[in-house]
A and B are shown apart, each in its own frame.
Chain A
Amino acid sequence: MPYLGSEETVKELKRALSNPNVQSDRLRYRNVILRVIRFMTQGLDMAPLFMEMVKASATVDIVQKKLVYLFMCSYATLKPDLALLAINTLLKDCADPNPMVRGLALRNMCNLRMPGISEYIQQPILSGLRDKASYVRRAAVLGCAKMQNLQPDAEIDGAVVNELYGLLRDQDPVVMVNCLRALEEILKKEGGVVINKPIAHHLLNRMKDLDVWGQSEVLTFLLRYRPRCHSELFDILNLLDNFLGSSHSGVVAATTRLFLSLGAALPAVQSGALERARGPLLAACTAQSRELRFVALCHVQQVLRSLPGHFGAHYKKFFCSYSEPNYIKFRKMEILVELVNDENVGTVLEELRGYCTDVSPELAQAAIFAIGRIGQTYSEKCLSILTGLLELKQEQITSAVVQTFRDLVWLCPQCSESVCASIAGCEEHIQDSEGKQALVWLLGVHGEQIPGAPYVLEEFIDALKTEQSPAVKLELLTATVRLFLSRPAETQDMLGRLLTFCIEEECDMSVRDRALFCYRLLQCGVEEAHRVLGGPKSDPSLGVIAGRPEEPINSWAGDFNTLAPVYSREDWAALTATTGGSPSLIPQATAGAAQADPGSAEEAEAASSAAAAAAAPSPPGPGEELCLLSGPPLSPELFERHWLALEPSRRVSLGWPGGDCLPETLQAALQLVNIQALALSRPHARPWKAYLYAHSLGTVVLAELLRDTDAGGLQVTVKQDPEREEALSSFLTVLKTVMQTLGNSSSSLSSHV
């Protein structure tokens, strides 16, 4: 940010910092440094002071040290050569007897993001990992991740990884969680930290010692672990049950997500978990923090997608209070519409009617549209409210009501009579073009039931010269022709005027074309025009389509407690499209559903063909990388059927990763690239077999890995449905890469798993 006199300020501060009088007075020195930091926060460039600040770091005053470190970490990238001067002080501090000083120095030294720093920090980190103070170990563990982050291409140090896996058993819970975080970052390319049975059980046992942040993080890491048998699964569920009732909403949400993922094949577990989490979720909906309330409401909406009645009894929690911001009120209204049932419909409508006269026009309109949506089921009650609103003679309200009427009449033909009776006189209060369009449409389609329809249209036609919106003119043309067909005597004259004006004086091409079309249509004869324009006046079946079907819980379980529900669906789709796949590091939770009951085979098939259809219209560009999608899970039965029916598309032989590559490791690695493993043999069985599948570009790729003898390589047989060359070759490339990466790291991993 350009700032007036910033150069002067820098000069003055420089003088003050190098003034020996200031330096000797601790308090004055600190105050000058504080001023530097304050200017830095405001966005002034304080980099010229770097030298003086480095000198200030050699002090016993811890507050001053912290401030100087903050300064150095902000500017080290700009002045790497000068920052090296500070290294000595930092190294000395790393050996200080005071653990607080040691931890502080180590943490900040690792924060200096500049090239060449890693050779200096390696040794302090390694000794920090074995420090007796947990404060230092915490900083050292994350220091490993920072070091890796500085050189993303560097070889992973197996010894450090081993040490970190060992530190998972550390006394200090924060060190343990930091280890998980660091391993996750260091092993990012290989699919993150491996959670096997001993580690998972260790984490579960330590859950109680952690603070809330640690708990939510560990719960997220546990998503990766798949229990072997039902009894283990239920042990885990019992152990974690208490966390569903935690008073911290983050922990509740993370536990719920884990339960949903673990119970992917057990609907009873899922609904039980949601049942238990309902109370805390509702509490978050009424929390004091508005932002938390909003996040909770978004998640409530997500649950409602599968379980529409889940919050039915608690509908009063979603009534808006006066002081809430509009974005919360909008969400609450959307939820209220979903929660309506026979018992509460009266109360909910009464409440919504209160919002219709809100000061904010957007909110009032949204409330009216909400009533309209309820009206698709409870039309009588809603119609009386809406008709009542018309009497207020307010512009926005009338316009929104008329728009709602149009949609209602289209979906529920039984409403048309009362709608037609009530819209007389509305035209005086409608100013905006959407409202006008709706009114004109109603007049055209149901003109024979509205006595004054031609005269209202005539008013619109007389005011045509001043009408701005082409959409209204288009609607007016159609409506007048329609009305002419049902009431020719009253309409003929004005239709003539309208057509003359639109053909001769109108500048907008689409309006002119429509007018010409209408004119020629009428030339063909009245019967012909009737046939073209006199379609059905309502379509109740559309209401069934518009009413959303219940989605399975598994369709959103993987997104629960992520940012996805908080964004609108369109925004999220746009976001993930640009970043290439969901940015979540956690593999899709649906993988566990591979062991689903056989009954879901048909469903899965339907879903997979749907996914295929969805992906089909986008053929890949020539240079486009294959992205394997985490599509719907295949059941073993379905897999078998496909496998037997298909001809092998290709056979290749790959190198064995080497070492003892265990099934979990392989499965975890494959899952990360969205290849699902259906079944694997035990590690030392010969012949060793594995069955894999993946979704890509609208096809399903099935593969069998076969290893006959210890010395031999890996035989891969790939089948595909339907055939798709690009998908096939890229699947093999991905598989090859995975095997190679596993080969590189299996030595360091296998010692822990």
Chain B
Amino acid sequence: MISQVFLLSAEGDHLIYKDFRGEAGRDVINVFYEKVNALPGDQPPVVMHHEGLHFVHVRQGGLYCVATTRSNPSPFTLTEFLNRLAALIRDYCGSLSEQSVSLNSALIYELLDEMLDFGYPQTSSTEILKNFIQTEAVTPKPFSLLDLRNVGLFGADTQHSKVAPSAAASRPVLSTRGEPGGKNEIFIDVIERLTVVIGSNGTLLKADIQGEIRLKCFVPSCSEMRIGLNEEFSIGKTQLRGYGAAVRVDECSFHEAVKLDEFENQRVLRVTPSQGEHTVMQYQLSDELPSPPPFRLFHSLEREPSGRQENGGTGSLSSPPSLSLSLSQELSSPDQSAELQPISRACAGRSHGSRGAALCTVQGLWRAPGSAPPLCWKSGRSACPSSCPSSPAPGCRSDSSACHPPSLPCPSAGYDTSRTPTPTPSAC
């Protein structure tokens, strides 16, 4: 049973606080914040205790979601519950951030009141909860130059305005109540996280992909929808279909609401989505990638005439040409530098003999030709542990989460690729 639930910002501001059992005072919030900040780097902060009170927290969107308890509950259930709370806030408020939480505190209090009674979870489904939630969400509207692209000359439609902006899916699920007609949209995101280790000569040493198909549904009552995957999609190393292992994953698991009767033969997932965000399918793939990764990394070590050594790394993206890129960088020492070369779509970083990692994040928006569904290239970041001048090549390591078209079990029927707003499914 949960004693209290509170949400803190990264700076320790109290955003939400609700006491369910009166077992501890509100001063424990500050105790928690001091504890979580005072921990040395190697100590796990997930569960902490203070005078018989356990703090369990998850960190999402830069916020601490904390539950306290005096009993000895299941840590799995508690963390899952907090994650679910964060997901619900995201569903109802559009996004989870300090701003959206403080704008919608009434709504979140209402949510908490319905989700927990006396510290016991009552219900957590978006479907049921929406009957009880009366407050309407307030969405922050940041000014963005990107929005201006959608306005054509004299208000005419532009190429861009036919396409949903990349922030289209980050709006509250229930906001359609006020608007007549509303927007009946379903978004399918395919998100892949790549963990790749690349040797100093540019060869791929290790690769690991974790992917998921995420569905965000804004349609109040959706009929059944069919997601067709590539028919040559195969699971495991032994099972091969079609002309070989074109689309292969090691393991995959599905949401419990997905009906799999047509999956075995036709690779069709049948699902009747309820409102909100769900992960329909998760898959994993390691070692042998069916296609090269969407970027390459090269490592260079040069000795300058002055005797200094320059440790450099260049990452280039092998993505389609119409990609607008931006670069953000986290450098740990002043003699490191990073720059973006838009023409060759490469990001070069270099450092002079110093120790420390550099983190460069390349962000880009990719528009495929033709129907132009924008595919959000979320981030590809690379880090070179540029430690020691004469080291036997520590290698470059790259983590990226990106929509990575080649290896996708790409939805082929029913709905197009990701981020395409689709009208209420009537055909299926």
Contact = CB atoms under 8 A, between A and B. Distances in A.
Contacts of A294: 44, 46
B201 to A, nearest CB: 16
B395 A354 contact: yes
Interface string A572-589: 000100110011110000
Interface in A173-205: 174, 177-178, 181
B81 interface: yes
Contact of B72 (A212, A360, A583): A583
Most chain B C-beta atoms within 10 Å of own C-beta, residue among A252, A363, A566: A566
B385 A253 contact: no
A100 B210 CA distance: 43
B388 A394 contact: yes
B327 interface: no
A286 interface: yes
Contacts of B120: 142, 177-178, 181, 213, 217
B119 to A, nearest CB: 9
Interface string A342-381: 0000000000001001111011001000000000000000
A393 B390 CA distance: 10
Contact of A41 (B15, B71, B118): B15
A120 B42 CA distance: 52
Contacts of B197: 354
A323 interface: yes
A51 B344 CA distance: 69
B253 interface: yes
A418 interface: no
B106 A566 contact: no
A468 interface: no
Interface in B338-396: 355-357, 383, 385, 387-388, 390-392, 394-395
Interface stretch (A243-251, A619-627, A736-744): A243-251
Contacts of A37: 105-106, 109
A366 B135 contact: no
B54 interface: yes
B42 A327 contact: yes
A305 interface: no
Interface string B10-45: 000111111101100010010000000000011111
A750 to B, nearest CB: 28
B74 A286 contact: no
Contact of B14 (A42, A142, A298, A393): A42
B286 A322 contact: no
B117 A561 contact: no
Contacts of A34: 105-106
Interface in A61-97: 62-63, 66-67, 70, 73-74, 77
Interface in A379-434: 388, 391-394
Contacts of A696: none
B49 A250 contact: no
Contact of A362 (B41, B74, B206): B41
Given A247-B256, A357-B394, A67 B109 contact: yes
A211 interface: yes
A70 B253 contact: no
B265 to A, nearest CB: 23
Nearest to B210: A286
B322 interface: no
A41 B387 CA distance: 47
A273 to B, nearest CB: 16
A561 B76 contact: yes
Contacts of A123: none
Contacts of A181: 1, 118, 120
A500 B45 CA distance: 50
Contact of A291 (B58, B110, B118, B397): B58
Given A216-B74, A393-B388, A578-B52, A66 B113 contact: yes
A80 B1 CA distance: 26
A63 B74 contact: no
Interface in A211-265: 211-213, 216-217, 220, 246-250, 252-254
A563 B72 contact: yes
B58 A289 contact: yes
A449 interface: no
A394 B124 CA distance: 52
Contacts of B19: 73-74
B113 A392 contact: no
B83 A138 contact: no
Contacts of B109: 37, 66-67, 70
B134 A564 contact: no
Interface in A548-562: 561-562
B75 A562 contact: yes
B391 A211 contact: no
Contacts of B132: 100
A254 B77 contact: yes
Most chain A C-beta atoms within 10 Å of own C-beta, residue among B22, B26, B44, B286: B44
B208 interface: yes
Interface string A275-295: 000000001101011111011
Mostly helix, strand, loop or mixed at chain B's interface?
mixed
B26 A295 contact: no
A115 to B, nearest CB: 13
Contact of B80 (A249, A319, A392): A249
Given A63-B135, A292-B79, A563 B47 contact: yes
B320 interface: no
A330 interface: yes
A220 B74 contact: yes
Contact of B76 (A174, A295, A391, A583): A295
A340 B56 CA distance: 32
Contact of A213 (B22, B54, B81, B105): B81
Contacts of B71: 583-585
A394 B79 contact: no
B399 A358 contact: no
Contacts of B113: 66, 70, 107
A694 B95 CA distance: 55
B52 A41 contact: no
A167 interface: no
Contacts of B387: 357, 392, 394
B75 to A, nearest CB: 5
B74 A250 contact: yes
A567 B47 contact: yes
B195 interface: yes
A66 B110 contact: yes
A717 to B, nearest CB: 36
A243 B71 CA distance: 25
A145 interface: yes
Nearest to B109: A70
Contact of A253 (B29, B74, B135, B256): B74
Nearest to A77: B22
Contact of B77 (A41, A62, A213): A213
A561 B75 CA distance: 6
B162 interface: no
Contact of B75 (A178, A563, A585): A563
Contact of A359 (B14, B26, B356): B356
Contacts of B41: 326, 360, 362
A42 B46 CA distance: 24
A685 to B, nearest CB: 38
A316 interface: yes
Given A66-B134, A145-B118, A564-B72, A283 B22 contact: no
Interface in B76-130: 76-77, 79-83, 102, 105-106, 109-110, 113, 117-118, 120-125
13 contacts: A34-B106, A41-B15, A42-B13, A66-B110, A216-B74, A249-B80, A253-B74, A292-B58, A294-B44, A319-B208, A330-B44, A583-B72, A584-B72
Given A41-B14, A291-B79, 8 more contacts: A43-B26, A149-B21, A178-B120, A216-B74, A217-B120, A247-B253, A295-B76, A583-B72
A-B pairs with the 9 shortest C-beta distances? A250-B77, A213-B121, A327-B44, A250-B76, A321-B195, A291-B58, A584-B72, A253-B76, A322-B399
